[in-house]
Amino acid sequence: MNPILIALDVPSAAAALALTDTLRGSVGGYKIGSQLFTAEGPSIVRTLAERGDKIFLDLKFHDIPNTVAGAVESASHLGAWMMNVHASGGQAMMSAAAEAADRAATAGRPRPLMIAVTVLTSMSAEVLASVGVHRSPAEQVVYLALMAKAAGMDGVVASPLETAAIRDACGPDFLIVTPGIRGGSAEQTSGRQDQSRTMAPGDAMRAGASYLVVGRPITGASDPRRAAQDIAAEAVASVTNLN
């Protein structure tokens, strides 16, 4: 599968549908996060899933185990291919989420991939310390990744700078979804830099990423489809060269 997942950080269904129509066939799937989901609700997930698109529902569920399990079951009904929870919700919460995903499969629906968010890419060591976490970002990420694996999660979301350490700790089959991917003309012209732990696409794949979440380097490019093809080619070539 093409490892590029496009962040649909747009304000409306119309904008999301236009972007997916432009990029379909050049990317592996699409990430729907809080902005689009809050604006348009579950219908945008269902609409794109019914078109055959793989949807990563990035709502970062974080609540008591029973509530999170219910959210996972509801999202599976929408056709989400992948969804995430916050690993900091604890092992019991993650286990409840994984079990809810398993129940979706026994009910005849495709089992969604369950991914745990470790440390947001915007968080530096100083920010972690300010909320009472005194491990380094890399140490905290690996700690949470091991907890997620023990809870039955399929993988984690983590910055590309921690990917190699997660791969070493959790093995070759554990999924690593990597945001904070940088590169392309859009990045050179944008002043927004809200992620502090970033990496280029090829480097992230060589470090062991399974999927790359890409936003502005593609969606802000003058030719988004060409930008997507170039980034996907770089990602695939970087893995091919390792074999």
60 is a catalytic site residue: yes
Distance CA 7, CA 214 (A): 6
Three-state SS annotation for 9-75:
CCCCHHHHHHHHHHHCCCCCEEEECHHHHHHHCHHHHHHHHHCCCCEEEEEEECCCHHHHHHHHHHH
Distance CA 163, CA 143 (A): 13
Q: Which residues are catalytic?
A: 60
